[in-house]
Amino acid sequence: ALHARAATAEDTDWTEIDLLYGLLEQMQPSPVVTLNRAVAASKVRGPEAALAMIEPLEERLSGYFHFFGLRGGLLMQLGRNEEARVAFDRAIALANTAAEAAHIRMHIDRLIKESAERTPAKKAH
């Protein structure tokens, strides 16, 4: 609820959210709690730290849309776009609603656009 109370996204106390999820992990350990904590950790310690937190969860969350959506987002932040695309494709395959799939397609479209912008156009002879 802390992120919902913040006036803006920048005002969100991600350190406190990370701490609270850490306490919840100790009291009620579950892969979904760790996945949620990884979102906060990515804001506090960066995408690499969050990715390290979730990688051990892949087998247990292999059918969970949100795992692959988060994994794709973290990989995208790290510039690992091919791996991000694979994760996003898996998230789309696991999406429960058209809205979930559309949200992930938006990330894929951004990957494609960024890739096109980085690739210099070839001149015709």
Q: What is the pLDDT of residue 122?
A: 53
User: pLDDT at position 123, please?
Assistant: 53
Q: Which of 25, 106, 39 is nearest to 67 (CA)?
A: 39
**pLDDT at residue 97, as a whole number:** 94
Residue 10: predicted pLDDT: 78
Residues of the chain with pLDDT under 70: 1-7, 119-125
| 3-class SS of residue 1 | coil
Please report the pLDDT score of residue 62 as a whole number: 97
What is the model's pLDDT at position 117?
Answer: 79
* Domain residue limits, the chain: 1-60, 62-125
pTM equals 0.85
Which amino acid is present at 20?
L
